[in-house]
Amino acid sequence: MPYNRPPPEQRSRQPDRFYSVAQATAYHSDANASIQRDLTLLALSLLPPAAATGRLLDIGCGSGLSTAHLPPHAVGIDMSLSMLQIAAASSESSFVCGAAFALPFRDAQFDHAVSISMLQWLSEKQLVRFFQELSRVMEPTGTAVFQVYPLDLAHAAEMVAAAQATQKCATLVADFPHTNSALKWFLCVEPQRSAETTCERCPLARRLHGTCAYRFRVARRLAPGRLLHEHLQYAWHAYRKVARRRVLESSDAPPPKKHKKERSIFPNEEALVVALEAALGERLTLDALKAASDTVVNLVHATYTAVEAAVEP
């Protein structure tokens, strides 16, 4: 049976009530600890490297599953007392009870901030107030990284617009926090930067018509993590599908009935293989793709962006 329960933020608009003692205890499980650890470490890796030594705020810290992976001087804030009681019992960090949209801190008290699985709790109005509060309590040079669960494109746009309304640069990117290929969304809010000219799209981030974090990371000299591996796998998979179809087309035997779904090749995959062969030669190997990984990522993005642009009005 598929698990169809809506996420907590759709079942309640009041996190402090939703996270009762029982709910907070259930949330603080080993399974969630492992998921939230991966999300937190990935969010940290999207902050400037110096952030680890700065004054760090964990917004919507809950039972401390995210705060546990931040430097010990980090401060956590949450609306739910039940969540905070568990956090305080299991961590040496400081925890404060309060709402994200009325932060009980002094101006410029923090250098940077992270927030894991919290932002989707805020209504559109609360989002606007929250980002005003964040820009008050964070140094103007600070960066904040939010791991978020936008419902859809409009919800993602609301988050970005609320952050940009405080004159910050807000970029929504997909990244790979876990060892499997499940991607998650991160909203990175930074001081205004000179505009990044590229608006390329990535087939790995197609759900929200978005981009992956590769370009974001390269522009800030941050390590690409699993992003390279996932793009290389994508390119290799596309190449193998096209190569297999070519073999079938050149043979008189009827095509096998099995793996029908796997044989469908998307227009951007077709375009990608043509572009890869033009750049790297016709007999591609996974090693050849690995050796030219930056080119491969560029072509994955360029071909997808071009094909999407051609089908959109």
Ligand X SMILES: C[S@@+](CC[C@H](N)C(=O)[O-])C[C@H]1O[C@@H](n2cnc3c(N)ncnc32)[C@H](O)[C@@H]1O
Give the CA diameter of the chain.
Answer: 75
Give yes or no for residue 19 binding ligand X (CB under 6 A): yes
Count the residues of the shown chain that bind ligand X, applying the rule CB under 6 A. Answer: 20
Q: Per CB under 6 A, does 79 bind ligand X?
A: yes
Stretch that binds ligand X, among 96-104, 164-172, 189-197, 204-212 (CB under 6 A): 96-104
By the rule CB under 6 A, 232 interacts with ligand X: no
Where in 102-131 is the site for ligand X (CB under 6 A)?
116-118, 121-122
CB-CB contact of 225 with 175 (8 Å):
yes
User: Does residue number 62 form part of the binding site for ligand X (CB under 6 A)?
Assistant: yes
Rounded Cα–Cα distance for residues 112 and 74 (Å):
10
Applying CB under 6 A, which of residues 83, 173, 232, 272 lies at the interface with ligand X?
Answer: 83
Per rule CB under 6 A, is residue 66 in the interface with ligand X?
yes
Q: How far is the CB of 51 from ligand X (least distance, A)?
A: 17
**What is the three-class DSSP state of 309?**
helix
- 93 binds ligand X per the rule CB under 6 A: no
CA distance 25 to 123: 26
Q: Residue 108: CA atoms inside 13 Å, Cβ hemisphere, count?
A: 3
The backbone torsions φ and ψ at residue 134, rounded to the nearest 5 degrees and listed phi first, read -60, -45
Among the listed residues 54, 75, 78, 201, the single contact to ligand X using CB under 6 A: 78
60 binds ligand X (CB under 6 A): yes
Residue labelled with tokens 């939010």: 146
Nearer to ligand X, 47 or 116 (CB): 116
255-294 burial, b if ≥16 CB within 10 A, otherwise e? eeeeeeeeeeeeebbbbbbebbeeebeeebeeeebeebbe
Shortest reach from residue 151's CB to ligand X, in Å: 15
Q: According to the binding rule CB under 6 A, does residue 91 interact with ligand X?
A: no
Using a 10 angstrom Cβ sphere, with 0-12 exposed, 13-18 middle and 19 or more buried, the burial of residue 246 is: exposed
Residue 61 touching ligand X (CB under 6 A): yes
Residue among 43, 47, 65, 273 that touches ligand X (CB under 6 A): 65
Q: Which residues bind ligand X (CB under 6 A)?
A: 15, 19, 36, 60-62, 65-66, 78-80, 83, 99-101, 116-118, 121-122
